[in-house]
């Protein structure tokens, strides 16, 4: 249609809109190219934290464990790692009791003895842990024998998440330790 009509008449609304837009696009492309070139050069030769232009291996959102899996370490309820900033906390109890009380920022993943934890839920947990830059995952459960926290911890570890701990005595022990 534009070809049939030719150039928009000078001073019209269409002419004003198209005025200089081609130059704007060329300017934008030139800025992009120059920035890209400078960024690549600085990253390669001048940046103290430079990275390769192409990642040599896939980023590990789900961190693989070199062990066959299922290894969890017990922590006492007063262990400083439970409240540490770089800890990702997981509550293995049912949603109702989780709502009533849980550790700050804990994620609720209810452990079921009969059904395995859904894989997409474990993947979500791993992604949240990775994006929070956590160095370890601490799971706590109902503190019974067997303990849901320990069981979920083993399951997470078995799925390739490393540095998984569980709290001995679970939520009751944590609440007791929190009281003065």
Partner 1 sequence: MSRFLLWRGHAMLALPARVYLGVIFIYASIHKIADPGTFALDVATYDLLPLVLVNAMAIIMPPIEFVAGVLIIVGWRTRAAGLLITAMMGIFVVAVSMALAKGLDTSCGCFASQAMEEDPITGLTVLRDVVWMLLGAYVVLFDRRPLGVDGFLMRRRENDAG
Where along the sequence are the contacts to partner 1 (CB under 8 A)?
12-13, 16-17, 19-20, 24-25, 27-28, 31-32, 35-36, 38-40, 42-43, 47, 49-55, 58-59, 61, 105, 120, 124, 127-128, 130-133
What's the min distance (Å) between Cβ of 124 and partner 1? 6
Least CB distance to partner 1 at residue 71 (A): 26
Q: Which is nearer to partner 1, 97 or 134 (CB)?
A: 134
Q: Is 156 exposed, middle or buried (0-12, 13-18, 19+ CB in 10 A)?
A: buried
Bridge partners for 73 per DSSP: 165
| CA dist., res. 75 & res. 146, Å (int) | 16
Query: By C-beta, is 17 or 178 nearer to partner 1?
Result: 17
1 neighbors 14 (Cβ within 8 angstroms): no
Nearest-approach distance from CB 30 to partner 1, in angstroms: 8
Least gap, CB of 79 to partner 1 (angstroms):
21
Our CB check for partner 1 shows the closer of 36 and 71 to be 36
**How far is the C-alpha of 169 from the C-alpha of 69, rounded, in Å?**
23
From the CB of residue 86, how many other CB atoms can be counted at a distance below 10 Å? 10
Q: Give Cα separations from 101 to 27, 41, 87, 169 (angstroms).
A: 57, 53, 18, 15
Q: Of 94, 92, 98, 101, whose CA–CA distance to 153 is shortest?
A: 92
CB of 39 or CB of 71, closer to partner 1: 39
Q: State the nearest-atom distance from the C-beta of 176 to partner 1, in Å.
A: 26
Nearer to partner 1 among residue 50 and residue 76 (C-beta): 50
């Amino acid at each position: 249609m534009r070809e049939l009509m030719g150039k928009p008449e000078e001073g019209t609304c269409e002419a004003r809109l198209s005025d200089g837009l081609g130059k704007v696009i060329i300017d934008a492309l030139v800025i992009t190219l120059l920035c890209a070139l400078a960024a690549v050069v600085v990253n390669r030769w001048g940046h103290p934290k430079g990275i390769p232009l192409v990642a040599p291996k896939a980023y590990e959102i789900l961190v693989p464990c070199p062990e066959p899996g299922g290894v969890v370490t017990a922590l006492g309820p007063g262990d400083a790692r439970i409240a540490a900033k770089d800890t990702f906390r997981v509550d293995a109890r049912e949603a109702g009791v989780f709502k009533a009380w849980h550790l700050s920022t804990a994620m609720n993943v209810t452990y079921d003895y009969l059904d395995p934890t859904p894989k997409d839920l474990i993947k979500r947990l791993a992604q949240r842990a990775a994006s929070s830059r956590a160095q370890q995952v601490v799971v706590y459960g109902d503190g019974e024998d067997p303990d849901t926290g320990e069981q979920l911890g083993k399951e997470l570890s078995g799925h390739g998440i490393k540095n998984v701990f569980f709290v001995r005595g679970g939520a009751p022990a944590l609440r007791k330790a929190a009281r003065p």
